[in-house]
Chain A
Amino acid sequence: MTAALEVRGLTVGYPGRPVLRGIDLTVAGGVTAVVGPSGCGKTTLLRTIAGFHAPDSGTISIAGRDVAGPGRAIPARSRGLGFVPQEGALFPHLSVAANVAFGLPRGERRSLERARELLAMVDLPVELLDRYPRDLSGGQQQRVALARALAPRPALVLLDEPFSSLDAGLREGTGRAVVAALRSAGASALIVTHDQGEALSLADQVAVMIEGRFLQVSSPAQVYLAPADPRVASFIGHATLLPGVATTRAAATCALGALPLSKAVAPGPVQIAVRAEQVQVHRAGGLGVEGVVEDVSFYGHDAAATVRLHGGERIAARIPATGVPEAGVRVRVEVLGEVVAFSTAPTRTAETELPAGAGSKVWEATP
């Protein structure tokens, strides 16, 4: 089966400012999420695939058809993909039915059959067909926008931060409904988001982009549990990065003591990523390393705390709601389970599989 989307060596820039620096991505099927901090270039990638922006070099093919490459540029209107921009962008002067039917051939626009079918697919009541976009809630607008994109039966749908404008309560339900509709329509999708939780929960494949490059493209669990780069660990898992030394291939010491490693690493200087939920905080007198609670944010179901060690390192911890310490209290911190280490030795080693240059940089602990 041909991949829904195949991107090879894509570079895109504005004059004097490179944005994408060599992107490779294959979307075989299902939902792929491109996640990264704002300004990393993920929206530019989407707009380039959609055909609103011309690449400097590289190739793009959609469902086996080359749409951009050397001497080749298929205009956006002929790429045959669905596009759902931020906030949906429904046509305000058209009813829901006319919005959904917008991309259908002239003859099919009149019949409401396809529009009904699509509303059912995105789990909206048929009564909405005569309504206008201003009468819909944000979540409903987003679903209608997806129905409109799915109407011409595209092989691939591009969604640009589709849920960022929705209230937190609506976001999850709309996200699930959108993914379910994509699956039942048999379309592959590329979702751009800056929300790690959204990417991990909705996608089959997560591509982490930082500064115009993909640092890792793999399954949500892989990206979270086995980050390929310290930046992936700190962005996706809110991990604290600590300098340390790998004493053997399977253990390393750092300010939090000797820790077992989940992945073998060459002995020598390393960067250790400790995820917040791995950090246990005990009242003074238990196991672990001593520190002082610097600040606490209470969320209800749990709390996030920053603990300052004697050496000045700040460790992020997730604490169950029942045992939240106050700021200023002396505590002991302990790490549960194995941690991920990245070699920071100047020579590149086979085990770390880091992109060139990425491992040599020293990363500060995130608060």
Chain B
Amino acid sequence: MSLMPLGYVLVTTAQLGVGEAAAFLWRPRVGELLWNTVRLLVAGVTCCLLIGLAGAWVVERTDLRGRGWWHALMCAPLAVPAFVNGYGWVSTTHAVQSFSGAVMVTTLSYFPFVYLPTVAAMRRLDPAVEEVATSLGHGPWRVFWWVTLPAISPAVLGGALLVGLHLLAEYGALQLLNYPTLTTAILQQYATVFNGPAATLLALVLVLFCLLLLLVEHVLRGRRPLARVGSGTSRAAVRMPLGRHRHTVALGLGLLAVWSLAVPLVSLVRWLVKGTSAGIDVAELSGAIGTTLGLGAAGGLLATVTAVPVVWLAVRHRSALSTFVERSVYTASAMPGIVIGLALVTISIRVVPSLYQTVVVLLVGYTVLFLPRAVVSLRGTVELIPASLDDVARSLGCRGSEVMRRVTLPLALPGLAAATALVALAVSTELTATLLLAPTGTDTLATKFWSEASSVAYGAAAPYALALVILSVPATWLLGRLSTPGDRIEGAR
């Protein structure tokens, strides 16, 4: 099912014929979209890398005071969905409706994707390696460049890949910023001519971009062995004294926090005050909250239940088939919500028309979209369960299903809960696929917000935006906690 979107794009394009496709794609408008997408991608990923790396290094490797608070502030932008952030900025100043504005707003929304894995990797890194490099006569910059950076490169690359994929898939923020990319063009096409070949062809280009990003990351990552050699506990790293630069660094981080959090939040509150003077439609708001929570819970449970067999196969029964299943799940993580939405609309109309415009298709869409998150979150827990526990349980007379019920599932419970929560919260703030797949009359916070904000009813949109931010806080907190190991779940030994 995870390969469905990819298959859909390829099959539809093949049906169109190469000549027609080429004729459509070879137009100045498409060229402009490509140029916009590529330069946003390059500039956005670069800015996120710089801010994320620098932030992680300052928080993790210097003697900056109040590091716990700074860490929280660096994670906090994740709690503001990008389209809410875009709304905050646009409703403050129209100056952000430009290329540099688009880069700035998306960077402020997405740099935590680089920051979080980098902080986690730096913390796991054995400082002894850096100490050895220093004792061999290398200065701090050379140590960072030649020892630290290569060691944390998988985490940094993974973060950059995530930023890239999000930039390609972003619709809401870029539409508000009036910056057309492939994704915004696809949705416009879809809105005007429903499901013409144009949308599908653009989706194909988008998918190719995503796969290209995956490939680039794979090649850059290479096959270097990066694991720690030897055993023993690694100590905490010696932190670099900032000295007289301390205030400058703190000021820089503070500005970043103001820019990424204070501006959108203040603007949100301002519109909230303005909007509520006209009165909030409490019934509509609570209706949207109810729908959102219901969809979130259902989507979270469905994705987690689907993830269990995938993870089980991948961890306990490695084979060509299980690897294929796992990889195809990850491929879906590179598919933008819009492509998944388009694919499901078309397939449900053609194959099971009775399901079109029902919650079922919407939930299937969420599952395809967020299954990778559930798999990643669950896999971390299941991998920690030693296989010898299965052996013991079997030698004590348990059959497979009993081993699952009495040993594996109880031990995986924290992972199951985290997976459900993460997917539920992702579902609550999802916009693009929901716009395409939600049955008419089903309004979530995100779609309600969108219909108000896109018609420049900033005041009316504010309560929904605030609800979205509040909903995102727990997931953000969870992610921030997970990235800083230290109180991991302890096994028997």
Contact = CB atoms under 8 A, between A and B. Distances in A.
Interface stretch (A84-92, A198-206, A269-277): A84-92
Contacts of B411: 91-93
Contacts of A47: 391
B316 to A, nearest CB: 13
Contacts of B493: 87-88, 133, 138, 141, 165
A152 interface: yes
A76 B410 CA distance: 22
B159 to A, nearest CB: 32
A308 to B, nearest CB: 33
**Chain A interface residue number, banded:** 20 to 34
A77 interface: yes
B397 A89 contact: no
Contacts of B399: 77
Interface in B388-406: 388-389, 391-399, 406
A89 B391 CA distance: 9
Interface in A104-135: 133-134
Given A91-B407, A92-B492, A138-B493, A85 B397 contact: no
Contact of B396 (A103, A133, A165): A103
A85 B392 contact: yes
B231 to A, nearest CB: 12
A51 B391 CA distance: 9
Nearest to B397: A77
Contacts of A86: 388
Interface string B367-411: 000000000000000000010110111111111000000110011
**Chain B interface residue number, banded:** 20 to 34
B391 to A, nearest CB: 6
- Residue among B389, B393, B490, B492 having the largest count of chain A Cβ atoms under 10 Å: B492
Contacts of A138: 493
A52 B391 contact: yes
A148 B492 CA distance: 15
Interface of B: 386, 388-389, 391-399, 406-407, 410-411, 490-493
5 contacts: A77-B394, A82-B395, A87-B493, A91-B392, A141-B492
Contacts of B492: 87-92, 133-134, 141
Q: Which secondary structure dominates where chain B touches chain A?
A: helix
Contact of A152 (B392, B393, B397, B406): B397
A279 B331 CA distance: 68
Nearest to B402: A77
A50 interface: yes
- Residue among A77, A80, A87 having the largest count of chain B Cβ atoms under 10 Å: A77
A82 B391 CA distance: 11
A89 B395 contact: no
Interface of A: 47, 50-52, 75-83, 85-93, 102-103, 133-134, 138, 141, 145, 148-149, 152, 165
Contact of A52 (B386, B394, B490, B491): B394
Contact of A89 (B389, B398, B410): B389
A47 B388 CA distance: 11
A145 B394 CA distance: 14
A78 B399 CA distance: 9
A63 to B, nearest CB: 15
A50 B397 contact: no
Contacts of A83: 391-392, 395-396
Given A88-B492, A93-B410, A141-B493, A78 B397 contact: yes
A46 to B, nearest CB: 10
Contact of A91 (B389, B391, B394, B397): B389
A141 B492 CA distance: 9
Nearest to A136: B492
Contacts of A141: 492-493
A51 to B, nearest CB: 8
A89 B490 contact: no
Contact of B395 (A81, A88, A90, A93): A81
Contacts of A152: 396-397
Nearest to A47: B391
A89 B388 contact: yes
